[in-house]
Chains A and B, each alone.
Chain A
Amino acid sequence: MQNEDTEQQIIRETFHLVSKRDENVCNFLEGGMLIGGSDYKLIYRHYATLYFVFCVDSSESELGILDLIQVFVETLDKCFENVCELDLIFHVDKVHNILAEMVMGGMVLETNMNEIIMQVDAQNKMEKSEAGIAGAPARAVSAVKNMNLPEMPRNINIGDISIKVPNLPSFK
């Protein structure tokens, strides 16, 4: 794990690299020194305003990781019901929890979407049952707060990509 500064630098640089690439070029970027040298690659996918970037070493199959990103996005879509970037921005913790069911300590844990969704749901159910009645008012308040959501500016934010990138250093 690096400290926050290097982490930010990696995110910035990755964003810089990835965002200026054309639509119809390949989804792989050779590893620079920052992400650990030539054994590492950035593999990304671009969905509307979002980039999902994985940093992997040579023990992963490139096409396999592209599939994995697809699985990740589809899982997000199922879990958030039609995911959009705001979901990811406002529920970073949930995104992390979903990701934790797919990738653990930098290694691919599960690639079966149904299995992932099942485990995520089971955990959410548990969370709900723990909150119980006491949680109800809090949920109501947060529902009211969320009413304002659509008025938010919908621009690309560097935060989008950082959703994924904090896993960079550990994705070995």
Chain B
Amino acid sequence: MALKIVKGSIDRMFDKNLQDLVRGIRNHKEEEAKYISTCIDEIKQELKQDNIAVKANAVCKLTYLQMLGYDVSWAAFNIVEVMSSSKFTYKRIGYLAASQCFHESTDVIMLTTNQIRKDLSSPNQYDTGVALTGLSCFVTPDLARDLANDIMTLMSHTKPYIRKKAVLIMYKVFLKYPESLRPAFPRLKEKLEDPDPGVQSAAVNVICELARRNPKNYLSLAPLFFKLMTSSTNNWVLIKIIKLFGALTPLEPRLGKKLIEPLTNLIHSTSAMSLLYECVNTVIAVLISLSSGMPNHSASIQLCVQKLRILIEDSDQNLKYLGLLAMSKILKTHPKSVQSHKDLILQCLDDKDESIRLRALDLLYGMVSKKNLMEIVKKLMLHVDKAEGTTYRDELLTKIIDICSQSNYQYITNFEWYISILVELTRLEGTRHGHLIASQMLDVAIRVKAIRGFAVAQMATLLDNAHLLTGNVQRKGICEVLYAAAWICGEFSEHLENPMQTLEAMLRPKVATLPGHIQAVYVQNAAKLFATVLKSGEGSADSTAAQEMMIERLPLFVQSANLEVQERASCILQLVKYIQKLQQKDVEIAEEVIALFAGELNPVAPKAQKKVPVPEGLDLDAWINEPPSESESEDEQPRAIFSKEEPKYSRPRHTEVDEKELAKRREVRKQEQASNPFYIKSSPSSQKVYQEGSGVEHIPVVQIDLTVPLKVPGLPMSDQYVKLEEERRQKDRADKKKEKKKRKEKRGGGRGKKHDSCPESEEDITPAHMVDIVTEEMPENALPSDDDDKDPNDPHKALDIDLDKPLADSEKLPVRSHRAAEVLKSPTEDVEAERTVVSQEPKKKSSKEKKEKKKDKDRKKSKEEKKKKKHKHEDKGEDLLGGQEDEPVVQSEETSVVAAPPTSTTSEVSDLDFWLSNAPVPSNAQEAAPVAAAAAADPVPEAASGAAPDSEPEEPKDTEAEETKSSKHKKKKQKKEKEEKEKKKKKKHHHHHRHSDAGGEESVQNGTVEEEEEPLPPMSNYCLLAENSYIKMVNDIQGNLQDGSQVVVSVIFENKCESFLKSMEFNVLDSLNSKLQRPEGSGAHDALSVPFQLPPGVSNEARFVFTMQSIVMPQKLKGTLTFIVKNEDSSTHEKLEFKLHFTCTSYLITTPCYSDAFAKLLESGDLKCSSVKLEGISMPFHHLLARICFHHHFSVVERIDSCASMYSRSIQGHHVCLLVKTSEQTVSIDAKCDEPTLLGNVLDEIKQTFSQC
């Protein structure tokens, strides 16, 4: 056997490994594909072997090949095999391969669920880590659903390395399985205050990512984040939080007001550019949100703009880019302050970096005004000529059009200029945006009535020179413009100077090479032109010529392959022939022909169709008739289409229509138009309007010499308009001056000529045309909603979940309940299964909640405590500044919260209101911090966090605390004037006195039994370890879920003096039974250095792991803490001795248990019995239970009246069962355990706990 292994490994060394593969590929540059295919064959051979090392090597190579673009999905199963290897080396290779190759449709993923679950619960943190990393890449909805609970458990893992990965991956889980968000959220929220900065930053990361998509659900976290922002020094976290605030402020302007000050401070103080930049960004977001409410922030805007200018002027291109990016955000609300930096931005347009030019272009969009539009566009046109890349040029083109057309052509004063710009743009080589230009032309021509004459002239020229546009193959995109040109010339043909020429241009044989839809428009509009020619002089030479031309040229189109073209052409050809026939009979027909094309088109708002409300009682999905059978529909549908089209185009077979019928059809058409609310507004006078050219008197304010620009389409002409415009404005100004003078003279006084010298303001510029911009039509009673812009496919939509609502039964994470129950029936040491049970606890709880409302409250309490205890070492970090003395204050807050009616959502909202409306800005920082601290100390948000704003700052001196308390209470009174609440307040007040009196740990309680809702007294498991004038240590001991022989001691060190404490070293004298775990390589008596230093007044928590052999007896270990006290001038070495007390309780782990499993356990008969009686217990029963749960790590299995069964489990798997009964003031506890010594000690400890009360 051994020989075989050695042989295997020798064989293996001559296998090709990854390095060899890479080398081989590099040496076979010419025939890479061939070489790789032989490699793949080798790999296939290797995968067939049994040796996992060979397989792993093969998979490793495959991962590389996948990276080169080869499909390796065929090896998916082998990857799973390697993933499930017990060796970390191979496991890592397997997971890496999986993360690269697996995707949602990989079917073997289903097979991995159990393997991943096993790895997640592996005792080796790197197995877990590698599984989490891999899973983050290929998690599917199924995996997310099955593993959500396991990952959630890992979020409270003892190792920060696992915690941070588990927290981060939750985001992926939420995305795939949105139902998990609500159950997991409370824990995620706790992690925001994790002592490990990595975990904290991961939690911030996840919440920011969630909040970015659905900010409104996370508003209630604002106080907490605010606190983090003011306290954190980690720039990564700060950036994330500040970005998050940027997303939140639009929803809550008051938040913005609170933020401005700290952000401005950060802007002034930070040296990190990235942080500065994000601050500026968020300040901008705040300013945007405030822009409606408070205009008094010009100082902040100035600051931002000024900082951004510094960025833009920086030689670092990155800063320049970002500066421009941020600037464009300010632009939207405060264009004035950006406009003053126009010089800088125009300068950036010349930058050699395309990214920067694009950003500068964005800015230009907002900087144009009536005054400078022409100038800016002129500059852009120059750039268009210079630009080398087509993408950049296309970008410029769209920008020019965007800039000009923004808000209904607001800034355009001269539409002739704009039309000529558009015409110039058609000369661009190879642009893709012909369509855009075309639609602009159409839009302007339709909506600006006054410009039609000019537009038609320009379009006629375009049509005449169509060969310039179509000649080049590369210019395909631009021929779209001809579509617009043809339509404009046809529709507004009455403005044409020389319709015959245009008609000729439209019917050139070359047109047949254009795309079908353009030809169709050509044909249709040729007919319109023909009608106009006919109208202008029936029987004249022109009209005869036109007629002949039509009859001669149209057959070309009748043969077109394009249906639309063919149909229109043949229809019109017949019409012309018919007209000819009529004319031969000397019938006056022009009026009738032109009536064919009468009516005016109005623009329709893009959303108009959607906004039409569905009339009541109309079900659009219902069949109007019975659905036809399949065979029928095949026959009928095409026919229906034809009959629909008939009235629109006169088909060949209808050529012999007489005038009456024509008139009838016209009538029908008009009616159709009239009854169609969306598209066509038929006004009976429109036809006349054309003929009489009404509105002509509006057009020319300035006489424009049209001769030059029109004839030469290849030359730039828009420049002329710039000049003309200048002249016109001067003239205008002169006119105005004159008027003013006149007025002044009339008034008889010259009050100084102040006004004459002032620069013309926006309003002074009168447009060159009386622009009659036709507004877009909307249907009557259109729905005002604007939410139709959201993308329904956005995966984040599913995460739009209200997180403040209490959890419902149905929402708990799915747990493998079936298996867990089995495990309990035959008790084994399967840690994993036990953990599953832990998470089942809440489910059971909530189902009971429903059953009995009365018990509801105290259950919640105990649940809260349990949770609290579980994560105590995490979330107490900062709240325990004052150790036990202060801690009860926090605790009492919480408990009173529980007493409040559980209308959590509303109370939470009002809390936020309170926080936001709270006090003037300067005091925020101090005030908000404790508030948020209290909010965070409340570990179960679903049980209402009502107390957040009522919390007191945890100050060590009683008097001070008293002061703040009373002031707070006043505030609270103002806010909530309900009597009930005041009562509670008094109670609480009273409470605090007692606290300060008692001073000791957890010795306070309410004493009298009132009602069920009575708040639970404060509790803490942290007890004083040692204390001197420099430092105070409190500790708590927890069993390690992962390892049966380990306990974790969390020690909070608090610096009590004015000096800096450093080089703290923690040492314990090991006993035979228990040893402090020291890092590899250090001796058995070496001290452990505490991984932090303590500035004055600061406290921090460190954890030490101890290995235990036997856990049945309590024990004490002696230890010392040495540290250096550093003053400004001296430093002394100090020492503090302590005794670490390991109670048997600390070996117990809260493990929920089902009542049926519990019953089985008791029946099994393996357990030894013991009992104890407690006398003189006056506390309510649920308090008693809660205390046992909290201090001794039990969970309630079942409670019936004054009797309850409880369960816990030691780290080494001993079951401990309790039956607690109470009558009068006596409590009897019957207990069973498979280890009598342990049981005895636990009972003693319980007894002691209650004797202290």
A105 near B136: Cβ-Cβ < 8 Å: yes
B interface: dominant SS: helix
For residue B218, CB closer than 8 A to chain A, the reply is no
Residues on B with C-beta less than 8 A from A110 are: 164, 198
In the assembled complex, the CB of A18 is this many whole angstroms from the nearest CB of chain B, namely 12
Residue of B nearest to A66 (CB): B318
In the docked arrangement, what's the CA distance between A4 and B172, Å? 22
Residue of B nearest to A159 (CB): B68
A105 near B239: Cβ-Cβ < 8 Å: no
B132 near A104: Cβ-Cβ < 8 Å: yes
Contact for B355 among A24, A25, A93, CB less than 8 A: A25
Residue of B nearest to A62 (CB): B322
In the assembled complex, the CB of A109 is this many whole angstroms from the nearest CB of chain B, namely 6
Residue of A nearest to B65 (CB): A4
In the docked arrangement, what's the CA distance between A145 and B21, Å? 12
Residues on B with C-beta less than 8 A from A5 are: 69
Query: Using a CB-CB cutoff of 8 Å, which residues 294-326 of chain B contact chain A?
Result: 316-318, 320-322
In the docked arrangement, what's the CA distance between A137 and B236, Å? 45
Give per-residue flags for A97-140: 1 if the beta carbon is below 8 A from chain B beta carbons, else 0: 10010001111111110010001001100110011001101101
B169 near A105: Cβ-Cβ < 8 Å: yes
- Count of chain A residues near B, Cβ 8 A: 64
Residues on B with C-beta less than 8 A from A107 are: 136, 168, 171, 202, 205-206, 209
A134 near B67: Cβ-Cβ < 8 Å: no
Residues on A with C-beta less than 8 A from B358 are: 30
Kindly specify which of B5-13, B611-619, B957-965, B1108-1116 makes contact with the partner chain.
B5-13
Residues on A with C-beta less than 8 A from B320 are: 26
For residue B133, CB closer than 8 A to chain A, the reply is yes
For residue B88, CB closer than 8 A to chain A, the reply is yes
A109 near B209: Cβ-Cβ < 8 Å: no
Residue of B nearest to A166 (CB): B67
For residue A89, CB closer than 8 A to chain B, the reply is yes
Give per-residue flags for B1-34: 1 if the beta carbon is below 8 A from chain A beta carbons, else 0: 0000110011011100111101100100000000
Most chain B CB atoms below 10 A, which of A59, A66, A135: A59
Residue of A nearest to B12 (CB): A138
> Known contacts being A26-B321, A104-B165, is A93 close to B71, with CB within 8 Å?
no
In the docked arrangement, what's the CA distance between A137 and B67, Å? 29
Contact for B88 among A111, A127, A140, A153, CB less than 8 A: A127
Most chain A CB atoms below 10 A, which of B20, B236, B352: B236
In the docked arrangement, what's the CA distance between A135 and B278, Å? 50
Most chain B CB atoms below 10 A, which of A106, A107, A112, A130: A107
In the docked arrangement, what's the CA distance between A128 and B18, Å? 17
> Known contacts being A105-B168, A131-B89, is A1 close to B60, with CB within 8 Å?
no
Residues on B with C-beta less than 8 A from A148 are: 23
Contact for A24 among B6, B13, B243, B317, CB less than 8 A: B317
A interface: dominant SS: helix
Residues on A with C-beta less than 8 A from B235 are: 64
Residues on A with C-beta less than 8 A from B322 are: 28, 62-63
For residue A82, CB closer than 8 A to chain B, the reply is no
A1 near B104: Cβ-Cβ < 8 Å: yes
B60 near A4: Cβ-Cβ < 8 Å: no
A28 near B318: Cβ-Cβ < 8 Å: yes
Give per-residue flags for B90-104: 1 if the beta carbon is below 8 A from chain A beta carbons, else 0: 001100100010111
B209 near A64: Cβ-Cβ < 8 Å: no
Residues on B with C-beta less than 8 A from A153 are: 26
Residues on B with C-beta less than 8 A from A122 are: 126
Residues on A with C-beta less than 8 A from B10 are: 137
Give per-residue flags for B201-236: 1 if the beta carbon is below 8 A from chain A beta carbons, else 0: 110011011001000000000000000000000011
B212 near A59: Cβ-Cβ < 8 Å: yes
In the docked arrangement, what's the CA distance between A141 and B354, Å? 51
Contact for B164 among A109, A126, A152, CB less than 8 A: A109
In the docked arrangement, what's the CA distance between A90 and B17, Å? 10
A93 near B93: Cβ-Cβ < 8 Å: yes
> Known contacts being A1-B104, A100-B133, is A126 close to B126, with CB within 8 Å?
yes
Most chain B CB atoms below 10 A, which of A26, A97, A126, A153: A26
In the assembled complex, the CB of A19 is this many whole angstroms from the nearest CB of chain B, namely 15
> Known contacts being A26-B321, A104-B132, is A92 close to B355, with CB within 8 Å?
no
For residue B273, CB closer than 8 A to chain A, the reply is yes
For residue B990, CB closer than 8 A to chain A, the reply is no
B69 near A90: Cβ-Cβ < 8 Å: no
Residues on A with C-beta less than 8 A from B197 are: 112
Residues on B with C-beta less than 8 A from A135 are: 9
> Known contacts being A1-B138, A104-B165, A141-B13, is A111 close to B64, with CB within 8 Å?
no
A89 near B22: Cβ-Cβ < 8 Å: yes
Residues on B with C-beta less than 8 A from A111 are: 201, 236
A90 near B352: Cβ-Cβ < 8 Å: no
B209 near A142: Cβ-Cβ < 8 Å: no
In the assembled complex, the CB of A151 is this many whole angstroms from the nearest CB of chain B, namely 10
For residue B78, CB closer than 8 A to chain A, the reply is no
In the assembled complex, the CB of A132 is this many whole angstroms from the nearest CB of chain B, namely 10
In the docked arrangement, what's the CA distance between A59 and B281, Å? 12
Query: Using a CB-CB cutoff of 8 Å, which residues 16-60 of chain A contact chain B?
Result: 22, 24-30, 59
A123 near B136: Cβ-Cβ < 8 Å: no
Contact for B208 among A59, A142, A166, CB less than 8 A: A59
B64 near A92: Cβ-Cβ < 8 Å: yes
Query: Using a CB-CB cutoff of 8 Å, which residues 101-136 of chain B contact chain A?
Result: 102-104, 124, 126, 129-130, 132-133, 135-136
> Known contacts being A8-B69, A59-B208, A66-B318, is A90 close to B19, with CB within 8 Å?
yes
Give per-residue flags for B797-821: 1 if the beta carbon is below 8 A from chain A beta carbons, else 0: 0000000000000000000000000
A25 near B17: Cβ-Cβ < 8 Å: no
Residues on A with C-beta less than 8 A from B23 are: 90, 145, 148, 152
> Known contacts being A61-B278, A134-B5, is A28 close to B96, with CB within 8 Å?
no
B352 near A22: Cβ-Cβ < 8 Å: yes
For residue B1166, CB closer than 8 A to chain A, the reply is no
B26 near A105: Cβ-Cβ < 8 Å: no
Query: Using a CB-CB cutoff of 8 Å, which residues 1032-1058 of chain B contact chain A?
Result: none
Residues on A with C-beta less than 8 A from B243 are: 59, 61
B172 near A105: Cβ-Cβ < 8 Å: yes
A104 near B318: Cβ-Cβ < 8 Å: no
In the assembled complex, the CB of B1229 is this many whole angstroms from the nearest CB of chain A, namely 46
In the docked arrangement, what's the CA distance between A167 and B866, Å? 41
In the docked arrangement, what's the CA distance between A92 and B96, Å? 11
A142 near B26: Cβ-Cβ < 8 Å: no
A123 near B277: Cβ-Cβ < 8 Å: no
In the docked arrangement, what's the CA distance between A93 and B161, Å? 21
Residues on A with C-beta less than 8 A from B367 are: none
In the assembled complex, the CB of B604 is this many whole angstroms from the nearest CB of chain A, namely 28
In the docked arrangement, what's the CA distance between A108 and B206, Å? 10
Contact for B18 among A22, A90, A109, A166, CB less than 8 A: A90
In the docked arrangement, what's the CA distance between A142 and B132, Å? 31
Residue of B nearest to A115 (CB): B198
B168 near A104: Cβ-Cβ < 8 Å: yes
Residues on A with C-beta less than 8 A from B133 are: 100, 104-105
In the docked arrangement, what's the CA distance between A62 and B274, Å? 8
In the assembled complex, the CB of B320 is this many whole angstroms from the nearest CB of chain A, namely 7
In the assembled complex, the CB of B869 is this many whole angstroms from the nearest CB of chain A, namely 29
Residues on B with C-beta less than 8 A from A7 are: 69
Contact for B67 among A29, A115, A157, A162, CB less than 8 A: A162
> Known contacts being A89-B22, A96-B96, A97-B92, is A61 close to B317, with CB within 8 Å?
no
> Known contacts being A1-B138, A29-B355, A92-B64, is A62 close to B318, with CB within 8 Å?
yes
For residue B63, CB closer than 8 A to chain A, the reply is yes
A26 near B356: Cβ-Cβ < 8 Å: yes
Given contacts A27-B318, A104-B132, A104-B165, 9 further A-B contacts (CB under 8 A): A25-B353, A28-B355, A30-B358, A59-B243, A61-B278, A62-B277, A64-B239, A105-B136, A126-B88
A sample of 7 inter-chain contacts (CB < 8 A) reads A25-B352, A104-B165, A109-B168, A130-B89, A134-B9, A137-B9, A145-B23
Instruction: List 8 A-B pairs, minimum CB-CB distance, nearest first.
Output: A105-B136, A63-B274, A26-B317, A1-B103, A25-B353, A8-B69, A26-B321, A141-B13
